[in-house]
Amino acid sequence: MKVAILGTGALGGVIAGCLADTRAELVCVSRGRSAELIESGLAIFTPEGPMEMIPGERYFLIDSEKGPLEEIVCGSCDVAIVAGKANSTSSLSSIAEDILSENGVAVSIQNGLGHAEIIASRVGWDSVIGGSTTHSAWRDGEGSVHWTGRGSIFLGTMDGSEPDPTTSEFVSLLEEAGLNPKWSSDIEKEIWRKLMINVAINPICAIAGVRNGALSQIPELWAQSLEAMREAGSVARASGIDLGVMDNEEYLRKVVTATSENRVSMLQDLMAGRKTEIDFLCGAVVSKGEKLGIPTPRNEVLLALVRGIEMSQHHE
């Protein structure tokens, strides 16, 4: 099976590194300086400590800034995993369109809402599966990937149907790679559950400039997080998502405890002067809330503040 990782950053790097230990053929897509950094190999620090080095010969590297895809990879991949930042989904979807074989499937494991729709607009709904992940990772300035927490990769068809043969083989491959895949008959629920965590943790830790663990040490921050999460849950339910019985506080505490030493991805983006994923997180909650008549004042404030910080860093 040939798998393309579109956006070989922190999480994409974890996936590439784990798949490198399987029989999969790998194509890694990265951009500019990030591509240069992994040209000769990809270093991954596992959650348990030891570092694994994946030699550059183990994958076919594409620098997406260097013009059109090489003929040799066009139409050749069985799976395209969209793992880049939320803002790159459109450009990565067009690569997915070119790189996938006829029966190939594309899956987004990114944070936020709306990725499946963007990907489907390029490859068609029949070739899209939904995804979400609870693995956590960050990448340092030398391009090394630090896998900070083992989690799962949730996958599921958008209409809840059974997986096709390519998708089933892909799930087995992720299992073999130790990435702990979980098939879900309600993938939208998993995407929303992850969104609820992201709106609770990402903007607040990014604005305060603290590691995730600070949320449980500062009661005032904890209260803001829970409120942002509650609003997202109300919007999810009003959108028809069956979240089931969910104890927000218990769920948030579990994730914050497991990732207490993490600098949330939004904080890393701000520290590096990059645009954040705020529009796909609080922005998505606010706009869906507006359409459904559900007030989301906490998400509105967080959206405004993060946009303000982005502007202060001279982003257009």
Residues that bind ligand KPL (CB under 6 A): 111, 136, 197-198, 201-202, 212, 255, 259, 262, 264-265
Q: Which residue is nearest to ligand KPL (CB)?
A: 265
- For ligand KPL, give the closer residue by CB, 97 or 277: 277
Least distance in Å: CB of 202 to ligand KPL? 5
In the block, which residue shows the tokens 């459904």?
Answer: 292
In the block, which residue shows the tokens 């497991």?
Answer: 258
Other C-beta atoms closer than 10 Å to the C-beta of 65 total 11
CA distance 150 to 168: 22
Sign of CA dihedral 286, 185, 109, 6: negative
N-term to C-term CA, the chain: 40
- For ligand KPL, give the closer residue by CB, 37 or 201: 201
- For ligand KPL, give the closer residue by CB, 134 or 184: 134
Other C-beta atoms closer than 10 Å to the C-beta of 141 total 8
Least distance in Å: CB of 263 to ligand KPL? 8
Least distance in Å: CB of 185 to ligand KPL? 23
- For ligand KPL, give the closer residue by CB, 1 or 274: 274
Least distance in Å: CB of 41 to ligand KPL? 25
Cα 17 to Cα 27, 234, 273, 300, distances in angstroms? 12, 37, 27, 38
CA distance 247 to 267: 26
- For ligand KPL, give the closer residue by CB, 2 or 189: 189
Least distance in Å: CB of 125 to ligand KPL? 26
